[in-house]
């Protein structure tokens, strides 16, 4: 019973639409009606600006991290990776925003921050190095998914490999339209780095 409760709570936590809340509360904007129509951090940066984008990114990361702490909070022996995945699913398909959410990058990062802080630091640095070199947020997100999976394989931690594999699949699959645009050279590049 407690396991089901933790998983449900993690999903609901992941479902909190940070981009929608910040956009409507501070800018009077529904970001689903602008830019890519996505609720994630990238569209928040493009639609609301850098400060709001950073706030959305941090909120989305913290959702994933908070979900991994739920078993500890409720005294459960549940592997923290399980509610972490539930939070990522909530972020992608949020019950509070018509099941149209983000692309799972920041919240997945938050899950890794909760269970493997050094791994999070490695992917964080990898993301910004890739972003500096390519100027593509989407490509950097995909590269980080591959780096995370490679790191998990090096650690030889089977549960981590499985979960990171799932999260990497989510990230890459949800960027499939971006991959096409990168190939066609129509994917927008960032201008602030």
Integer Cα distance of 79 and 69 in angstroms: 10
- Residue percentage of the chain with pLDDT more than 70: 100
**45 band by pLDDT with thresholds 50, 70 and 90:** confident
What is the SS3 string spanning 110-163? HHHHHHCHHHHHHHHHHHHHHHHHHCCHHHHHHHHHHHHHHHHHHHCCHHHHHH
Q: Using the structure block, give the residue that is written with the tokens 């409760």.
A: 5
Nearest alpha-carbon partner for 141 in 103, 114, 112? 103
Whole-prediction pTM value? 0.94
pLDDT, mean of residues 21-45: 88
- Over residues 183-192, the pLDDT tens digits come to 999 998 887 7
Q: Using the structure block, give the residue that is written with the tokens 């925003």.
A: 97
Is the torsion defined by CA of 66, 67, 68, 74 positive or negative? positive
């Amino acid at each position: 019973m407690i396991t089901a409760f933790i998983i449900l709570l993690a999903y609901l936590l992941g479902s909190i639409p940070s981009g929608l809340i910040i956009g409507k509360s501070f800018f009077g904007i529904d970001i689903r009606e602008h830019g890519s129509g996505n609720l994630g951090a990238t569209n928040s940066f493009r639609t609301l600006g850098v400060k709001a984008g950073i706030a959305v990114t941090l909120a989305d990361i913290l959702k994933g991290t908070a979900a991994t702490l739920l078993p500890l909070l409720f005294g459960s022996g549940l592997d923290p990776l399980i509610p972490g995945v539930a939070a990522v699913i909530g972020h992608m398909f949020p019950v509070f925003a018509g099941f149209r959410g983000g692309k799972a990058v920041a919240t997945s990062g938050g899950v890794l921050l909760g269970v493997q802080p050094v791994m999070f630091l490695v992917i964080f640095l990898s993301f910004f190095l890739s972003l500096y070199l390519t100027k593509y947020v989407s490509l950097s997100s995909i590269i980080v998914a591959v780096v995370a999976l490679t790191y998990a394989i090096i650690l030889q931690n089977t549960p981590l490999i499985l979960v990171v594999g799932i999260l990497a699949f989510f990230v890459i699959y949800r960027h499939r339209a971006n991959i096409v645009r990168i190939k066609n050279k129509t994917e927008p590049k960032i201008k602030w780095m």
